[in-house]
Amino acid sequence: MKIIKRSGIEDIFDIQKIEAAIRKANDSVIDYEKLSEDKIKNILVNVERACENMKRSPGVEEIQDMVENQIMSQRAFAVARNYITYRYKRELIRKSNSTDEQILSLLECNNEEVKQENSNKNPTVNSVQRDYMAGEVSKDITRRFLLPPDIVEAHEKGMIHFHDADYFAQHMHNCCLVNLEDMLQNGTVISETMIDRPKSFSTACNIATQAIAQIASSQYGGQSISLSHLAPFVQVSREKFRRQVRVELEAAGLEPSEEKISKIAELRVREEINRGVQMIQYQVITLMTTNGQAPFITVFMYLNEVPEGQLREDLASVIEEMLHQRILGVKNEQGVYITPAFPKLIYVLEEDNIREGTKYWYLTRLAAECTAKRMVPDYISEKIMKQLKQGNCYTCMGCRSFLTVYKNGNDQFQFYGRFNQGVVTLNLVDVACTSEGDEEKFWEIMDERLALCYRALMARHERLKGTPSDVAPILWQNGALARLKKGETIDRLLYNGYSTISLGYAGLCECTRYMKGVSHTEPEGTKFALAVMRYLNDACAKWKAKHQIDFSLYGTPLESTTYKFAKCLQKRFGVIAGVTDKNYITNSYHVHVTEQINAFDKLKFEAQFQELSPGGAISYVEVPNMQGNLDAVLAVMQYIYDNIMYAELNTKSDYCMECGYSGEIAIVNDRDSKLVWECPNCGNRDQNKMSVARRTCGYIGTQFWNQGRTQEIKERVLHL
């Protein structure tokens, strides 16, 4: 059995260390207050059994809590008092320099918690370590100086989660929709170098990837670009090729007929589109931003975003090439094609591509093939989104965060060039457990926790106020988000809907089960769960009216936080069947991963919650290998179009470098009851010698996960 030390290092569980600590406390009291030998052995047996029953590596603090409880259960209060005093003194010593151990263990690559914090960061790489080191310092400053103590305490106890505290010390925002159209059409500046309007499609793609890297280094969340902003440069290349072909034909003494010119030029346009799309795919994957990872970039593919005619045909050609190249995948170190995490792709389902016989049905079939093999694209229903977003259809930022609908000073809807200020998530399961099932008390506690979230969100907002545009010129001065002057603050972009700020929520499923004794898929549970969602939306509306800031309800995509919340709940409330008995809690409003439900019922059920999650939400269905059953994939896609705004299919695409197995790498228990990944063909368990891709929170993760998320992945049932 393993434990997680305070520094994050994973170590062997040693019961003798616990025994030594108990005996020290025991020796410090007078004889008649001492524990007997039998009682000490009893305590050790009970602690060891409790640790084994956790089915994960317990933390040192959790073990010490168990020891305290066991000593008190033996009514040895003097011993318990001395044990607690010793523990408190040691805590004061540690707090005098709280970041040293974390950073040192991180540098030696043996910080187990950091290694599994982000499934797209490799913690052995210097740039990632540098970012984590800075993050530890930033979190320490944030805890001690920048946030009120009650918010810090609520965060540490898992009542709320103050996201991205490792970036809070800096004046940085969360995620954005890049105004690539402005940057390309009107020029931009990258690293103090003027970039003019590109003269070809491939140049436009190159500029886009350079901008993506700069933007990723200036914020801490995901970003999205639209292929519709690149498509006009296909015509620029076409016109250039037509001029070149005419000159070449004349130089060769051939008649430069329009038919010949068009035929040859279109062949070159095709090659140009191939080069440009390949540049986006490979540069995004190989770019390393200052935080040691590839940019969290989403590429939006929406035909109806441009007018009918040549421009739409060019956009269709770019989308087609993007899908072809993603189906192929990228080569790993062994030269085997695997599934990359980025760029994430979103494909919009529309009237002219959703049914066989429609004009762009061929693209939808290609998208289905891509999903079956590479897990992307995800799907937005134009029809449903327009119903929910005042007739608009637009992309999300990163994994699932949607901007609110906004009209600019020209009374035109605007989405690109806008951003999210940050996220604070409410743990709904904690609210329920604290209420002890009393519904009146539940709403009282909900108000208290919402007040806490409100103050935490306002702290995020206040941290951004007064930020000069000079901190990130590419964002604020050179078109990605705005064209502000040097020295001008970003303040006016924080109000009146230009940007959003997100109240996240998690664990609606477990919250409902605790309060009502049934799943939120049952009628009584659904009624309660919807009431919770409406209550959260009402809070956002109240805050928005007060400050003219667009507070929006966001279905939090818990990654490592799912494990943190679960551990905190177990510590505060013990193990409650169906509520806190897992090492994870459920993302946002989702149906529990273990609940048997078919794909279509799941999407239909979750659609009503997605509507009440305007700041961001995504639903998914878990499916087996679908490469031989594209008709089923298409059927799900058509159902998405008719029933839900935003959804995805979770397929499997793994590879074992030891034996060449391609399929699904399994999750098994090792002898320490730790969950590990194992090739079903050769038994390989070395994570460095396998490629595993799984969706965890909207985007694909490829660097493995903590024990809580790994358990959640293992327990997912198939919906199709």
pLDDT tens digit sequence for 140-168: 788 888 899 999 999 999 999 999 888 88
**In percent, how much of the chain has pLDDT > 70?**
91
Question: In the listed set 49, 67, 96, which residue is the last one of a domain according to the structure?
Answer: 96
Q: Considering the candidates 396, 399, 446, 637, report the single residue annotated as catalytic.
A: 399
pLDDT value for 288: 54
Residue ranges making up the domain that contains 34? 2-96
Task: Say whether both 58 and 180 belong to one domain.
Answer: no
The better pLDDT of the pair 369, 170 is held by 369
Task: Say whether both 221 and 357 belong to one domain.
Answer: yes
What is the average pLDDT value for the chain, to the nearest integer? 89
* CA separation for the pair 7, 27 (Å, rounded): 29
Judge whether 125 lies within some domain. no
Q: How many CB atoms lie within 10 A of CB 78?
A: 17
Per-residue pLDDT of 222-238, as tens digits, reads: 999 999 999 999 999 99
CA distances from 459 to 67, 144, 151, 178 (A): 38, 14, 10, 25
State both tokens at 298. Answer: 């989403």
Which residues have CB under 8 Å from 416's CB, separation 6+?
177, 178, 179, 180, 181, 182, 226, 229
Task: Say whether both 432 and 373 belong to one domain.
Answer: no
Task: Give the DSSP H or E segment for 3.
Answer: strand 2-4
Task: Tell whether the model's pLDDT for residue 36 goes beyond 80.
Answer: yes
Q: How many residues does the chain have?
A: 720
Question: In the listed set 579, 611, 644, which residue is the last one of a domain according to the structure?
Answer: 644
Task: Say whether both 450 and 553 belong to one domain.
Answer: yes
pLDDT value for 662: 84
Q: Considering the candidates 401, 435, 653, 691, report the single residue annotated as catalytic.
A: 401
The better pLDDT of the pair 6, 139 is held by 139
Residue 340: pLDDT band (50, 70, 90) is: confident
Q: Considering the candidates 320, 559, 648, 712, report the single residue annotated as catalytic.
A: 559
Q: Is 616 a catalytic residue?
A: no
492-498: long-range pairs with CB below 8 Å, 24+: 493/419, 494/421, 494/461, 494/464, 494/465, 494/549, 495/547, 495/548, 495/549, 496/548, 496/550, 497/404, 497/405, 497/406, 497/407, 497/550, 498/406, 498/418
* CA separation for the pair 201, 186 (Å, rounded): 15
Average pLDDT over residues 495-510: 97
Q: Find out whether 414 and 427 touch, Cβ atoms under 8 Å.
A: no
The amino acid sitting at 156 is E
Task: Say whether both 347 and 441 belong to one domain.
Answer: no
pLDDT value for 296: 86
Q: Considering the candidates 174, 202, 317, 502, report the single residue annotated as catalytic.
A: 174
Per-residue pLDDT of 475-489, as tens digits, reads: 999 999 999 999 999
Q: Is 222 a catalytic residue?
A: no
Judge whether 168 lies within some domain. no
Residue 5: pLDDT band (50, 70, 90) is: confident
* CA separation for the pair 289, 222 (Å, rounded): 12
Task: Say whether both 459 and 341 belong to one domain.
Answer: no
Q: Is 174 a catalytic residue?
A: yes
State both tokens at 670. Answer: 């090792």
Judge whether 556 lies within some domain. yes
Per-residue pLDDT of 536-568, as tens digits, reads: 999 999 999 999 999 999 999 877 888 899 999
pLDDT value for 109: 54
* CA separation for the pair 563, 713 (Å, rounded): 12
Judge whether 698 lies within some domain. no
Q: Considering the candidates 66, 175, 301, 656, report the single residue annotated as catalytic.
A: 175
Judge whether 148 lies within some domain. no
Residue 14: pLDDT band (50, 70, 90) is: confident
Q: Is 329 a catalytic residue?
A: no
Task: Tell whether the model's pLDDT for residue 693 goes beyond 90.
Answer: no
Q: Is 301 a catalytic residue?
A: no
150-154, 269-273, 392-396, 554-558: least confident range: 554-558
Q: Considering the candidates 8, 525, 698, 708, report the single residue annotated as catalytic.
A: 698
CB neighbour burial string for 43-54, b if at least 16 within 10 angstroms, e if fewer: bbebbbebbeeb
Judge whether 413 lies within some domain. no
Q: How many domains does the chain have?
A: 3
The better pLDDT of the pair 333, 716 is held by 716
Q: Report the SS3 class of residue 642.
A: helix
Task: Tell whether the model's pLDDT for residue 119 goes beyond 50.
Answer: no
The better pLDDT of the pair 628, 526 is held by 526
* CA separation for the pair 447, 431 (Å, rounded): 10
Q: Considering the candidates 105, 237, 291, 420, report the single residue annotated as catalytic.
A: 420
Task: Say whether both 609 and 529 belong to one domain.
Answer: yes
The better pLDDT of the pair 681, 335 is held by 681
* CA separation for the pair 432, 438 (Å, rounded): 8
Q: Is 420 a catalytic residue?
A: yes
Task: Say whether both 358 and 301 belong to one domain.
Answer: yes
Task: Say whether both 73 and 185 belong to one domain.
Answer: no
CA distances from 24 to 35, 387, 571 (A): 11, 68, 25
Q: Considering the candidates 159, 396, 397, 690, report the single residue annotated as catalytic.
A: 397
Q: Find out whether 627 and 372 touch, Cβ atoms under 8 Å.
A: yes
Task: Tell whether the model's pLDDT for residue 91 goes beyond 70.
Answer: no
Q: Find out whether 409 and 560 touch, Cβ atoms under 8 Å.
A: no
Task: Say whether both 462 and 372 belong to one domain.
Answer: no
Q: Considering the candidates 220, 394, 454, 554, report the single residue annotated as catalytic.
A: 554
CATH code at position 431? 3.20.70.20
Judge whether 241 lies within some domain. yes
Judge whether 87 lies within some domain. yes
Q: Is 370 a catalytic residue?
A: no
Task: Say whether both 337 and 446 belong to one domain.
Answer: no
Question: In the listed set 47, 80, 96, which residue is the last one of a domain according to the structure?
Answer: 96
Task: Say whether both 426 and 382 belong to one domain.
Answer: no
Query: Which residues does residue 650 pair with via DSSP β-bridges, in sequence order?
Result: 622
**In percent, how much of the chain has pLDDT > 90?**
64
